[in-house]
């Protein structure tokens, strides 16, 4: 095994994350699925108990996908999220970046790449945003950041941000 050591100390901010809990049931029969592996964003973090219940105590606040595998079954869930509405008194053009507390840019699609959030006109709506705190950056047509605001997205709620 080859191990590379860092030559200078680094630090990163840690937060406790969020708890994600649920119950796994077989869709066809409604029976509990015990012993299944529960992974969030590709990381196996829990195993379901006999009654199908599971708890992941420290998931990233901006988790995007939960996959459960067990007894030859597989299921996937995604957070319903919240809605972000950006409003301006004048027409705006450019794009928005949402950067999570972990420093990662929010991805607006269930794909393997970044999806731009375009800012077009006086009102832009972004649905199904994973709950959490974000830094919202407004990027103009020249690619320059023109504003940085903090926004909190809550499950099932709409957050409105005035850009003027």
Give the Å distances, CA to CA, from 130 to 25, 94, 145, 154. 24, 22, 23, 8
pLDDT in tens, the chain (164 residues): 344 444 455 555 667 777 888 889 888 888 889 999 999 989 999 999 999 999 999 888 777 788 999 988 888 887 778 889 999 999 988 888 888 877 777 755 444 344 568 888 899 888 878 788 889 998 888 888 888 899 998 888 999 999 88
Strand partners, 22: 54
**CA 157 – CA 96 distance, rounded (Å):** 20
Domain boundaries, the chain: 18-77, 82-162
Closest CA to 41 of 73, 71, 79, 11: 79
**What fold, for 82-162?**
Immunoglobulin-like (2.60.40)
DSSP structure string for 132-146: EEEEEEEE-TTS-EE
Residue 106, class by beta-carbon neighbours within 10 Å (0-12 exposed, 13-18 middle, 19+ buried)? buried
């Amino acid at each position: 095994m080859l191990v590379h050591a860092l030559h200078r100390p680094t630090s990163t901010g840690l937060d406790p994350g969020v708890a994600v809990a649920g119950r796994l049931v077989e869709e066809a029969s409604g029976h509990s699925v015990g012993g299944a592996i529960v992974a969030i964003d590709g990381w196996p973090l829990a195993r379901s108990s006999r009654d199908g219940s599971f708890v992941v105590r420290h998931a990233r606040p901006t988790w995007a996908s939960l996959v459960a595998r067990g007894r030859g079954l597989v299921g996937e869930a995604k957070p319903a999220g919240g809605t972000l509405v950006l409003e301006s008194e004048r027409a705006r053009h450019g794009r928005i970046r949402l950067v999570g507390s972990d420093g990662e840019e929010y991805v607006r699609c269930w794909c393997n790449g970044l999806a731009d959030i375009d800012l077009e006109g006086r009102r832009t709506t972004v649905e199904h945003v994973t709950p959490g705190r974000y830094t919202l950056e407004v990027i103009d047509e020249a690619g320059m950041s023109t504003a940085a605001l903090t926004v909190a997205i809550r499950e099932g709620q709409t957050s409105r941000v005035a850009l003027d």
